[in-house]
Structure formats: C-alpha cells, structure tokens
Structure 1
C-alpha cells in the first residue's frame, strides 16, 4: 500500500517522529480524512508497518536457513546471518523501525505489534543454538546459566518447543543474535562508513569466528 511506503520514506528522511497521518496526506495530495479511512490513528499505521516489516524479515531468515539441511548447523547459522544483513541493507527503514529507536509516543497493542513474526525469529535463533548444542556443550555446559536468568515467557516457549535444551543453549541463542545485530546496526546507522571499506568481509569474518567458537566447522562461505 502506498501509504505505508510513504510512511517509511518519511521516517528515512526525518526519523521515526516524522510519521504522522497528516504528513502522509500532504505527501500523497490527499485529505487527512482520506488517510484516516485506512488507518483510524497513527498507531494503527505504525502497528501495520511493524507487522509487515517483521513478517518480511522472518520469511527471509527462515527461507535462507531452510535452504540447508538441519544437520548443517554451521551453514544454517551463516545463511541466517547473511540473510539478516542483506535484508537490513535492502530495508534500512524497516530495520530501524523494529530494532532502532521507538517511534515517539507509539503504544503497541497488547501482546506486541508483530507477535507471530517475533516468535518465529526468536524460535529460529533458538533453533540455531539447538542445532549447535551437541558441538558446543563441552565448552558451554558449565557457564552457570539457570532458567531464572531469562524472561519467564521466553523460558516457557523454549521448554515447550525445544524440550531438553538447557539454559546455556538459550544464552548461545542470545549470543548469536548479539553478534548479528551488533555489526549490522553499526552498518545501518552509518558508523562503519569511515572505519572499513569492506563491511561484508568484516561481518563474515565475525560470523565465522562465532561458528568456530561453537565448535562447528563451516564447509562453505557462500550460503
């Protein structure tokens, strides 16, 4: 829908606070009432944007991961990581919408703006950790993590979907997310521009180091 495209463009030009229904109406040469007929309030539009963006991201990540067999734990981590960066570079406004500064004054609906997509991404990361656990267990089993170290809702979901997976593996899932999110955020926000001429090489090297740190062997560098 063009309204959503204009909203993301306004965000790209002026930050999250630039998204208003009146501003969108001006950009589209519409009356404010016409825009309100699609979205009764600005928060309804923000929720729809987040849901669309997050679902698109989840689809991209799952598709990339599932292109490789379940037994290729290292390859699936790399595929997920590369899909995450590629999607973010193609959708910088969407990335900032779901992972950047919150839209001023926005109140998400109860349960979150995109609970299904958020769950798919969270479960996907946990699945990557579960796939690596048999290799990583010897190094991470004694790290001292307990279920009380994590959010109760997350714990309940992990125990239901990955029965037998220990708390240390959940910590690995969060580590994987941190490695991916950290460098991509720096790149999207422009902080790497004067630091490296080859952010892709830096990113892949970092993911390769993470994979080796989990006791895995990467058989390809091109997912």
Structure 2
C-alpha cells in the first residue's frame, strides 16, 4: 500500500495538483498583501513591486500571477464586491417577503456588518479610486454591482406600498437617472416608478454615509455607541417611509 501511495504521489497529475495549490495560495497572499498595503498607505500603495517586496518575491515572479497592476486591482474589486453582494443577498433571502421592515433592516445590517469586517475592501470599492487605474470594458465586478444595485432597489420596492403616498408630488422621470443604473434596476423591478428609484438612492445615502464615517474612523471620535446610532437611523428611516414594524 505504501509503495502504491508513493507511486501515485509521484504521478504527473499529483505534481500538477501541488503546483495549482501553491499557485492558488500565492495568489491569495498577493491579494491579501495588496489590501494590507492599501490600508496602511492608501490606494497609491498598491503596486506589484511593493507587493513583491513585502512577500520576498522578485518583481518578475509576481508578474507571473498578475500581468499588470490593473489586472490585480480588477481581481480585488471583483472578489470584494462579490463578497459584499453575497452578504446582502443572503440577508435578503433570509427575511420573509411579507415583512418589509425585516427585509430593510436585514439588508442594511448586513451591509454595515460586512463593511466593518472588511474595511480595506470597503475602502477599495467605495473610497478613493486607485490612481491611474483603468477598469475593463463594462467595469469591474459587473455582476456584483448589479446585485447590490438590485438590492437597494429591493429596499425601495419593499417600502413602496407604504411610502408611495408620500411621494405623489415627485417630479422624477426616467431621464433623471443613469442608463446603466436603470439597466440594473428595471429588469428586476419593472413596476417601480422613477420616484421609487430616487427613494432607493436616498436610502443608499443614509446607509452609506454612516457606514463610511464608521469605516474611516471618524464616528468613533464622536460617539462610543455607533451601533445605537445606526439602529436609530434605521428606525427613523422606517418611520419616515411609514413602514410598519412587526
């Protein structure tokens, strides 16, 4: 049995499996190092040479994993954005459709929770842009961006049966919105009017503003209870939209 195992370990397929595993581990380390450098030095700190230096690799060796810095940044954005989309999609799926308050609260808390657990990733996709970065055609992480946008529209859709009377005087038209945004939102919620899309953006402003202050460390200087502040913001949002609590 031992001889058979040793023979199998020496087969070409075993060698390929080991190389693939090592490559995957090194790729993961490159991405983690890039995020760590960004956290300490800002977006300018993401360079392949700096990452290679941190990892004890040669610059030429790291180019075997990512041909350009922009390839690495695109991969990072795709990974980070997809993780965020997974987190908020899971929260949405785990709340009942007949309970709009629970859906709004669940999605919002998942967004904040993910951001606080992944501050470097949050800063990469929502903070200062990486200088000189050229995104691929269609943008980085198009599927994740669509899912997050759809989730925000879902918050408005959940609230709309209750909030609609508050927005009867809205003057928003489809021409007021970016075509790319509408391409993401309207297929998922074809019955939402322009006023509801505007509402989704306002909800986004409420959530994103507080979370950004917290991720960048500004909120802790002002209050020892950011959790309470965020929860009261959500409670006020539900009251403003006339969404009933269970």
Shorter-chain-normalised TM-score: which range? over 0.9
Pair 1:118 & 2:145 matched: yes
- Give 2:102's match in structure 1, choosing from 75, 98, 113: 75
Q: 1:129 touches 1:172 (CA, 8 Å); kept in 2?
A: yes
Q: 1:183 touches 1:203 (CA, 8 Å); kept in 2?
A: yes
Pair 1:3 & 2:3 matched: no
CA deviation after TM superposition for structure 1 residue 152, in Å: 2.0
Find the counterpart in structure 2 of residue 16 from structure 1. 43
Larger Rg: 2
Please give the alpha-carbon distance, in whole angstroms, between the structure 2 residues aligned to 1:187 and 1:154: 26
Find the counterpart in structure 2 of residue 153 from structure 1. 180
Q: How many residues align?
A: 219
Find the counterpart in structure 2 of residue 90 from structure 1. 117
Question: Match of 1:160, SS?
Answer: coil
Q: 1:208 touches 1:218 (CA, 8 Å); kept in 2?
A: no
Gaps in structure 1 of 5+ consecutive residues: none
- After TM superposition, the structure 1 stretch with the greater mean CA deviation from structure 2, 161-170 or 36-45, is 161-170
Gaps in structure 2 of 5+ consecutive residues: 1-27
CA deviation after TM superposition for structure 1 residue 159, in Å: 3.0
Question: Match of 1:161, SS?
Answer: coil
TM-score by length of 1: 0.95
Find the counterpart in structure 2 of residue 199 from structure 1. 226
CA deviation after TM superposition for structure 1 residue 160, in Å: 2.5
Please give the alpha-carbon distance, in whole angstroms, between the structure 2 residues aligned to 1:135 and 1:29: 58
In structure 2, the CA distance between the partners of 1:194 and 1:158, relative to structure 1 (3 Å rule), is: closer
- Give 2:131's match in structure 1, choosing from 100, 104, 107: 104
Please give the alpha-carbon distance, in whole angstroms, between the structure 2 residues aligned to 1:181 and 1:34: 39
> Larger relative contact order (C-alpha < 8 A, sep ≥ 6)?
1
Find the counterpart in structure 1 of residue 84 from structure 2. 57
Q: Which runs of 4+ in 1 moved over 6 A?
A: none
Q: 1:146 touches 1:167 (CA, 8 Å); kept in 2?
A: yes
Pair 1:25 & 2:52 matched: yes
TM-score by length of 2: 0.87
- After TM superposition, the structure 1 stretch with the greater mean CA deviation from structure 2, 89-98 or 123-132, is 123-132
